[in-house]
């Protein structure tokens, strides 16, 4: 396993812990996310995997209740600052009205992918870890990289424009 893969696993664990147990102060949580998310993006982008086409499988370990609990706690923490206008949704080009989404949903979506990844690789043999890295990299390219960038932009606004 490469040092970058090990770093990604450590960052995924740190992120999941942070969103599952956010601090009471919004400013502390925003600072944590603004520190973690760029590192996760870079590390996920640099994952060396054999192929994105035949990637492995991630166990669906996070249930709906856990997802809802994380999203609810984060929504309460962000309060009125949770919503932001989304400009990179595919439907946006056909819409006359702005499309709103929430920071809490984006963070919970990322947590779900990373939680599932960690559940898959926990105590797994190296070939399974390699397959899971392929799967998480494929999901990153297809979906959660854009979510991460969008949430990062919204978090930046919370920190510097509030």
> pLDDT tens-digit profile of 32-81?
999 999 999 999 999 987 655 555 667 788 899 999 999 999 999 999 99
Angle at 111 between CA 41 and CA 137, to 5 degrees: 45
Q: What share of the chain is helix, strand, coil (3-state, %, to 5)?
A: 70, 5, 25
pLDDT for the residue 85: 82
Instruction: Give the pLDDT band of residue 25 (cuts 50, 70, 90).
Output: very high
Q: What are phi and psi of 87, to 5 degrees?
A: -110, -5
pLDDT for the residue 48: 85
Contact 46, 10 (CB under 8 A): no
% of the chain residues with pLDDT over 70: 87
> Is residue 158 scored above 90 in pLDDT?
yes
Q: Which pTM value belongs to this model?
A: 0.89
Distance, in Å, from the CA atom of 98 to the CA atom of 101, rounded to the nearest integer, reads 10
> Is residue 10 scored above 70 in pLDDT?
yes
């Amino acid at each position: 396993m490469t040092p970058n893969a090990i770093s990604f696993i450590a960052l995924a664990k740190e992120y999941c812990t942070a969103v599952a147990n956010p601090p009471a102060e919004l400013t502390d949580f925003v600072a944590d996310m603004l520190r973690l998310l760029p590192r996760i993006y870079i590390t996920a982008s640099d994952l060396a995997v054999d192929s994105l086409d035949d990637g492995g499988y991630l166990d669906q370990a996070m249930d709906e209740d856990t997802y809802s609990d994380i999203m609810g706690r984060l929504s309460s923490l962000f309060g009125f600052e949770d919503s932001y206008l989304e400009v990179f949704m595919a439907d946006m080009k056909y819409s006359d009205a702005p499309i709103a989404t929430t920071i809490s949903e984006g963070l919970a979506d990322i947590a779900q992918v990373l939680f599932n990844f960690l559940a898959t690789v926990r105590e797994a043999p190296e070939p399974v870890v390699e397959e899971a890295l392929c799967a998480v990299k494929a999901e990153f390219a297809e979906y959660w990289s854009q979510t991460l960038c969008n949430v990062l932009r919204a978090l930046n606004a919370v920190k510097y424009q509030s």
